Amino acid sequence: MRKSLQDRVFDTVNVIYMLLVSVITLYPFLHILAVSLNEARDSARGGITIFPRIISFDSYRTVFGYEGLYHAFFVSVLRTVFGTLLFLLVTTLAGYVMTKKQLKGYRVIYMFFVVSMFVGGGLVPTFLLYRQLGIMNTFWVYILPGAFSTYYMILFRTYIIQLPQGLQESAMIDGAGEFTIFLKIVLPLSTPILATIGLFVAVNQWNAWQDTLYYTTDENLETLQYVLMKVLRQAEATQIAKQARSALARTFGNTSITPNSIKMAITIVATVPILCVYPFLQKYFVKGMVLGAVKG
């Protein structure tokens, strides 16, 4: 079919708009990558766009040469994987339970969850609570406090309510219990929302560093973001010093880097690992598995 003039104009505007969005989205990342790969003192002259002028890996050698970086990377991977899995287990179970309005005390329990979204104890009470629980300076301080979120529980609950109730009723007629329905009916149909929530939680776990600062003193529990933050702080401290170049040489043993080049390299190192997860979860954002599950 031949397209009308209005359709051709609409398609053209859409293509231009999407190209513009793509450029706006990709340019900052490509610029950071170019600066991180460029020779640091040359980058200080400016003029770097998306291609480095003088390729140098000194900034990355400095970052990857930092003591404890690889162990911190391992700790971050562990907390991201186990923290996300535990979060999905606890939050989805709570969301499924809160779809049962016949539950005794349903309104009270639901209001208790909602109030927790707006009322918090603050940093000092949280610190004292963690110490009383005995999770200070343990790996559990990364996992247990973030094992539940009322906001994501409500999202999951809303998604379950929108599922065809005929599936659960049919399973009950066949003798399935609540736990069986949850595992074999609800979870398989909830893959899109699970992937979306899981990705957000994984990103938060990966980027977290303040809990390492507040609640741990053991160097073996330092996460990647915390170690990178220490590298960045040292680089910024040398920038403030009067003799920044010589201070960098004393601190990092390399005069061909600058605080700005360290920042750019740190940004790439912290972003790329979690960015690799997106392609595997992208397909679940498009549409759910419910379509066509129930006819009528």
The 8-class DSSP code of residue 256 comes to: S
Measured CA to CA, the distance from residue 105 to residue 112 in angstroms comes to 11
Q: Residue 284's pLDDT is what?
A: 66
Q: What is the pLDDT of residue 219?
A: 87
Q: What is the pLDDT of residues 71-90, one digit of tens each?
A: 999 999 999 999 999 999 99
pLDDT value of residue 84: 93
- The structure tokens listed for 185 are 């009916």
pLDDT, block means (10 residues), the chain with 296 residues? 79 92 89 87 80 86 82 92 94 91 88 86 88 92 91 90 84 86 88 87 90 90 88 69 49 61 85 80 56 43
Rg value, the chain, Cα: 25
Q: Determine the pLDDT at residue 241.
A: 54
Contacts 24+ apart (CB under 8 A), 81-88: 82/143, 83/142, 83/143, 83/146, 83/147, 83/201, 83/205, 84/198, 84/201, 84/202, 84/205, 86/143, 86/147, 87/146, 87/147, 87/148, 87/149, 87/152, 87/198, 87/201, 88/194, 88/197, 88/198, 88/201
The answer to whether 217 and 137 are in contact (CB under 8 A) is yes
Fold of the 58-296 domain: MetI-like fold (1.10.3720)
